[in-house]
Amino acid sequence: MKPVGIIHSPYKQRREARSRTNRSETISRIEVFEEFEEGLRDIEGFSHIIIIYWFHKSYGYSLLVKTPWDDALHGLFTTRSPDRPCPLGLTVAELVAREKNILTVKGLDAIDGTPLLDIKPYVVPIDERSVVKAGWFEGKLGKGKR
C-alpha cells in the first residue's frame, strides 16, 4: 500500500484535529504525487470528493473507546476513532479548487503530513442512504447534512 499523495493541513497535532470533527471549515491542500496527476482529469467537475488516508500517528487501539460526545464506552467500529486495527481515515470534503496536482479542500481534519491513499468521487445515489437509525450518535450531532 503506497500513498498517492500527502495532505498539507494547519493541524500539526492529533488533538487539534480531534476537537473539530463536526462541521469543519478547515482548508487543507492535498498534494497528489505528479505521477498520478492524470488520474485527476476533470475532477474539478465534482463539488465533493471522498478522501481516504492513513492515520499515521495512530499507535495501537482498544476495542472499546470513549469519544468526545459522551462518557460511555462504545464499540470501536461504532466510532470514528483514528486508533483502529487498520488505521484508515475517511472524509467527504468539499473540493474548493484544483491547480494541476494540488487540490484545495474544505472540511478535511487530517493532520499535516498525513499520507493520502485514495480519492473517490462522492456521488449521491452511490454514497447516501436514507438512514433510520444512527445508534449512539442519535441526537448528538444534529440531523442535517453539513
Under DSSP, the state recorded for 107 is S
CB of residue 41 to its own copies, shortest distance in Å: 3
How far is residue 25's CA from residue 32's CA, in Å, rounded to a whole number? 21
Binding residue for its own copies, selected from 25, 59, 60, 129, defined by CB under 8 A? 129
Burial profile 1-39: b = 16 or more Cβ within 10 angstroms, e = fewer: eebbbbbebebeeeeebbeeeeebebbbbbebeeeeeee
Minimum CB distance to its own copies smaller for 9 or for 107 = 107
Neighbours of 110 (CB within 10 A): 28
Binding residue for its own copies, selected from 9, 28, 79, 114, defined by CB under 8 A? 79
Q: Taking CB under 8 A as the criterion, which residues in 80-109 touch its own copies?
A: 80, 84-86, 88, 90, 92, 94
Query: Where on the chain is the footprint of its own copies (CB under 8 A)?
Result: 1-4, 21-23, 32, 36, 38-43, 45-50, 52, 63-64, 73-80, 84-86, 88, 90, 92, 94, 117-138, 141-146
